[in-house]
Chains A and B, each alone.
Chain A
Amino acid sequence: MHEGKAILLVDDEAIILMALKAELRDALGSGYRYETALSAEDALELIKELDAEGFRVVVVISDWLMPGMKGDEFLARVHRQDPGIALIMLTGQADEAAIARVREEAKILACVRKPWRSSELISLIRSAVAPRG
């Protein structure tokens, strides 16, 4: 079974998801599947579904402030399930405690503030996926 690679975007704001998706697809091309989820709960489900379909999530970009499970808890869980996934947290709010926690527990690659700079985000992702080839 060929294993495809997927990039997962999680945010409760649809416009962020679609904007991010368009930007990443534009920059990184069709080599990846770009999947979106409107909540952390949906995202966790989606990771399982993708795995069943033969797709491996290589990068997760998640917002912090969402109704229900917050981003820090979500990323910590993902990290526990699969430490190999590169994790990036996007946030428009400065909750210091949450950021510290997620750095500690989820070993995130970076915490990027909204509004993000495209070039910064793209190079982060490239560096995240490149070594693995």
Chain B
Amino acid sequence: MRVPKRPTVSGALGLLALAVALTGILVYATSLTILARSAEARVVEDAERLTEAVARTVDSVLTRPLASLQTLGAAQELHGNGRAGFGVLVEATLAGESLFRSIVVLDAAGVVRLSLPEEGFFVGADLSESAAIREARESGRFAWSRVYASLADGGRELSLVVPTKLGYVVGNLDFEILADTITRSIEVEKADVIVVDAGGTFVVHPDRAKVLSREGDPDFIGERVKAPLAERHLYRKRVGGASKLVIAERIPKTGWFILVEREANFSAEALRSSLLAVSGVAVLLVLLASSLAALTARRLILDVRRAVDYASFAISADEAAESPAPPPQLRYRETFAVLEAALEAVTRIRTRDEANRRLREALDELKLTQGALVESEKLALLGTLAANLAHELNTPLGAASAAASVLGRIEEAALRRRLEAETRAEAEGLGLVPIAEAALFYDPISTASPGRRTEIRSIAESLARAESLLAGMAGAGPESGHCPETGFERSSELRDLADRLHDLGLRGCDEGLARALLVAERAGRLGPFMDSAQALVQTRMLRIALERASMVVGAIRSYARIDPGETVRPVELAESLRAALALLYATMKRGVAVRVEAEEGVFVLGREDRLAQVWTNIVVNALDAMDYRGELVIRSGRAGPDRAWVEIEDSGPGIPPELRAEIWRPFFTTKPRGRGTGLGLSIVKKLIDESGGSVDYSSEPGRTVFRVELPLVGGTPEASDA
């Protein structure tokens, strides 16, 4: 089996792709993590710094307050726009002196405000500002734009840190008196959110269950924190499409958290999409790798299947089938070393089966040979029967020929005597001689030829003319230019006479003969003369028929080959061919047109019976090939000074190229069992070889020619007598 030596390229590629993919993912993920972590670390650092700063601030505020606030009572605030807020009235005192009075309001939005007299008007409260604060404010030293506030204990206690330019004012205010009102008017869960700086830092009370947006910012989508915040909490928020990192850091010594917001250097989306991309590529690579692996696996499976199929086919195949197909080509020898061994085992089994098959074939051939032997025995028996038949026929034929010969001589003599009598009787000479001659050389074939009716007619006309001439001489003169018409009956009689004369061999009738005939007829001598002639004609027919019978018997004898006296001598080819054909004419008449173009006087040296067998075998083969329908042509002649040739041509379908070498083999036959032993042509070859000749053929569909060449000999006439 031819297999590649290197491991599969596709498999290696697949593994490589897989390794690359995995490595890439790992590297990418790691670097992303590192970068993200460092970004977070920076933000955490920031938060810690801020927290520290705020812690210091808060610390200083809590440890060194400027003034303290005290609750004076509940108050209500009304604004010009109709909005109302509930709050507490507070007074800030510094060193016993009142700094200011104000209403601290927690409005519905969760915003703590300090309302000062000029911002609105109060109802039911008397607010005044100390001169010192007024003075500080007018001079620009006192301003409160920011308030630090936290609401605790379900809204009952408010801690305030009010930065002023003079310092911080801190106070825990009792909102209890407003608690009910407040809870009624605001949502308790809303946390107060204090802006620490414009950069987005918030402070949130730890009790709050969630982190609220700054003033209800709709973009805020931060997390909900269910549990109280831990020391530090990191989360992300999206603001206006941008992603922010937020850290919630607890301020020490307080319950407050500082929220530090920073732009995320490493946006979560970018991270996610790049991870997606990488994952996508990785997935593709994995798919590629797996498909390559699958391909390799498939090939392996196919190999296995092929090998198994071959094995099972080879084991179960019909032993009479042709030689086994070669084992299939497998791709991976290394992998299938075991299968290879298995295939070899199968091949061994197959070879053994092959051997069995050959044994069986040999056995079949032996049986065929046995059959052929039986048939040749039959043939031998047939030969004996034929020989007996020939012998039996020869006896009567011999006797009959002799008798016919004697009869012929007697009749001939009788006819001559009549002729002499006739010539004596008829002074005008040997007028009837032509009839005697015709009878002597009578040939039935030319008498029966299709031209006979024309010949008979012309004889009859000749007779009629002679008759009218004779009548003219007796009666009406020729000068009248008118011949008496022959009556119908006489005309018919003349026609009949012409027919009978033709049957005796007469082909034509001239004036002289016609006259002689009519004269003899009138004298009553014609009848007996014609009877004699007829007797001679019949004896000739007899001899012709007997000769033909003898020829047939001779042909049987030749073919049957039981003639110990048969020796090698010159044999005339043309006669030998005709004899062989003689026994086949009847079969050929069914549809074969036969033509014999044999040069006469060509002699070869051989045994008559052997030659008869050669021609007969070749001709019968030819007839069989044509299925007894078509054209058979037999030619023979000389080829040079020392060679004679015979060609037997048939119009059958020919011998196919693949059988060309086989046809001379003994027992080779394409005929069904029982019809032909396959010995014919092998015998022909043997006989011709023994006679020092050669036999070959050329064949194409529609024309097959067998050519036999034999050494030419000079023939002697007596030796050619069969």
Instruction: Tell me whether A130 is interfacial, beta carbon within 8 Å.
Output: no
Contact B589 A18 (CB under 8 A): no
Interface hits, B424-471 → A, CB 8 Å: 444-445, 447-450, 452-453
CB-CB < 8 A to B534: which residues of A?
22
Contact A14 B586 (CB under 8 A): no
Instruction: Tell me whether B296 is interfacial, beta carbon within 8 Å.
Output: no
Contact B444 A15 (CB under 8 A): yes
Contact B538 A22 (CB under 8 A): yes
Contact B538 A15 (CB under 8 A): no
Contact status of A67 and B444, CB under 8 A, knowing A22-B538, A34-B499, A93-B586? no
Bits for A1-43, please: 1 = Cβ < 8 Å to B, else 0.
0101000000010110111011001000010011010100010
Once the chains are docked, how many angstroms separate the CA of A15 from the CA of B543? 11
CB-CB < 8 A to B544: which residues of A?
15
Q: B447 contacts which of A12, A14, A34 (Cβ < 8 Å)?
A: A14
Once the chains are docked, how many angstroms separate the CA of A33 from the CA of B590? 31
Contact B492 A14 (CB under 8 A): no
Once the chains are docked, how many angstroms separate the CA of A49 from the CA of B456? 15
Interface hub of B444, B447, B503, B590 (most chain A Cβ within 10 A): B444
Give the shortest distance, in Å, between B550 (CB) and chain A (any CB): 14
Instruction: Tell me whether A66 is interfacial, beta carbon within 8 Å.
Output: yes
Contact B503 A65 (CB under 8 A): no
CB-CB < 8 A to B541: which residues of A?
15, 18-19, 22
Q: A67 contacts which of B453, B496, B593 (Cβ < 8 Å)?
A: B593
Give the shortest distance, in Å, between B182 (CB) and chain A (any CB): 133
Give the residue name and chain of the B residue nearest to A50 (CB): B453
CB-CB < 8 A to B132: which residues of A?
none
Q: How many residues of A contact B (CB 8 A)?
A: 23
Interface hits, B295-346 → A, CB 8 Å: none
CB-CB < 8 A to B144: which residues of A?
none
CB-CB < 8 A to B586: which residues of A?
65, 92-93
Give the shortest distance, in Å, between A96 (CB) and chain B (any CB): 15
Contact B496 A36 (CB under 8 A): no
Give the shortest distance, in Å, between A92 (CB) and chain B (any CB): 8
Contact status of A12 and B589, CB under 8 A, knowing A30-B496, A34-B499? yes
Bits for B458-502, please: 1 = Cβ < 8 Å to A, else 0.
000000000000000000000000000000100011001001100
Bits for A94-127, please: 1 = Cβ < 8 Å to B, else 0.
0000000000000000000000000000000000
Q: A18 contacts which of B444, B450, B591 (Cβ < 8 Å)?
A: B444
Give the shortest distance, in Å, between A5 (CB) and chain B (any CB): 12
CB-CB < 8 A to A38: which residues of B?
448-450
Give the shortest distance, in Å, between A46 (CB) and chain B (any CB): 8
Instruction: Tell me whether B34 is interfacial, beta carbon within 8 Å.
Output: no
Interface hits, A67-108 → B, CB 8 Å: 67, 92-93
CB-CB < 8 A to A14: which residues of B?
444-445, 447-449
Give the residue name and chain of the A residue nearest to B538 (CB): A22
Contact status of A66 and B444, CB under 8 A, knowing A15-B541, A34-B499, A42-B450? no
Once the chains are docked, how many angstroms separate the CA of A95 from the CA of B264? 117
CB-CB < 8 A to A49: which residues of B?
453
Interface hits, B518-546 → A, CB 8 Å: 534, 537-538, 541, 544-545
CB-CB < 8 A to B503: which residues of A?
18, 21-22, 25
Once the chains are docked, how many angstroms separate the CA of A5 from the CA of B362? 71
Once the chains are docked, how many angstroms separate the CA of A38 from the CA of B451? 11
Give the shortest distance, in Å, between A74 (CB) and chain B (any CB): 14
Contact A15 B496 (CB under 8 A): no
Once the chains are docked, how many angstroms separate the CA of A12 from the CA of B448? 10
Give the shortest distance, in Å, between A113 (CB) and chain B (any CB): 14
Give the shortest distance, in Å, between B501 (CB) and chain A (any CB): 13
Interface hub of A2, A4, A17, A18 (most chain B Cβ within 10 A): A18
Contact B593 A18 (CB under 8 A): no
CB-CB < 8 A to B500: which residues of A?
25
Once the chains are docked, how many angstroms separate the CA of A33 from the CA of B586? 30
Give the residue name and chain of the A residue nearest to B497 (CB): A30
Interface hits, B552-604 → A, CB 8 Å: 586, 589-591, 593
CB-CB < 8 A to B488: which residues of A?
2
Contact status of A18 and B496, CB under 8 A, knowing A65-B590, A66-B589? no
Once the chains are docked, how many angstroms separate the CA of A33 from the CA of B493? 11
CB-CB < 8 A to B537: which residues of A?
22
Once the chains are docked, how many angstroms separate the CA of A38 from the CA of B452? 11
Contact B448 A17 (CB under 8 A): yes
Give the residue name and chain of the B residue nearest to A2 (CB): B488
Give the shortest distance, in Å, between B460 (CB) and chain A (any CB): 12
CB-CB < 8 A to B593: which residues of A?
67
Once the chains are docked, how many angstroms separate the CA of A36 from the CA of B499? 11
Once the chains are docked, how many angstroms separate the CA of A93 from the CA of B496? 34
Once the chains are docked, how many angstroms separate the CA of A14 from the CA of B442? 12
Give the shortest distance, in Å, between A114 (CB) and chain B (any CB): 11
CB-CB < 8 A to B449: which residues of A?
14, 38
Give the shortest distance, in Å, between A116 (CB) and chain B (any CB): 14
Interface hub of B445, B493, B537 (most chain A Cβ within 10 A): B445
**A-B CB proximity, top 5 nearest:** A14-B448, A14-B445, A18-B444, A14-B444, A15-B444
Given contacts A14-B444, A15-B445, A15-B548, 8 further A-B contacts (CB under 8 A): A14-B449, A15-B444, A15-B545, A22-B503, A25-B503, A38-B448, A65-B589, A67-B589
21 contacts between A and B (CB under 8 A): A2-B488, A4-B492, A12-B589, A15-B445, A15-B541, A15-B548, A18-B503, A19-B541, A19-B545, A22-B534, A22-B541, A25-B500, A34-B499, A36-B452, A42-B450, A49-B453, A65-B586, A65-B590, A67-B591, A92-B586, A93-B586
Q: Which residues of A are at the interface with B, using a C-beta cutoff of 8 A?
A: 2, 4, 12, 14-15, 17-19, 21-22, 25, 30, 33-34, 36, 38, 42, 49, 65-67, 92-93
Q: Which residues of B are at the interface with A, using a C-beta cutoff of 8 A?
A: 444-445, 447-450, 452-453, 488, 492-493, 496, 499-500, 503, 534, 537-538, 541, 544-545, 548, 586, 589-591, 593
